[in-house]
């Protein structure tokens, strides 16, 4: 399950790509910000789920560390 931050970032990326993509096709070379907006949209779509994955991985790392500390204190 994705977090709301991840979902929002992906949606922003999709909006940027859908807004800038057609304009790039019509104005190739004319407006550099259109290309930048499209590229940023792609990056947001790619990075959003990775933030969620990193958050989940951090939780697992913390749980493992706690389990290791508990086990070492018992012995």
pLDDT tens digits, one per residue of 6-44:
778 778 877 887 777 777 666 665 566 677 777 778 777
Domain, as residue range, for 46 = 4-74
pTM: 0.46
Tokens of residue 42, six digits: 């792609």
What secondary structure letter does DSSP report for 29? T
End-to-end CA distance of the chain: give it in Å, rounded: 37
Q: What's the number of domains the chain is made of?
A: 1
């Amino acid at each position: 399950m994705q977090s709301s931050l991840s979902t929002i970032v992906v949606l922003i990326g999709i909006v940027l790509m859908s807004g800038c993509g057609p304009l790039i096709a019509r104005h190739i070379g004319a407006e550099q910000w259109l290309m930048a907006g499209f590229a940023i949209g792609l990056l947001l779509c790619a990075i959003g789920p990775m933030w969620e994955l990193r958050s989940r991985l951090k939780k697992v790392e913390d749980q493992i560390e706690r389990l290791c500390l508990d086990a070492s204190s018992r012995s």
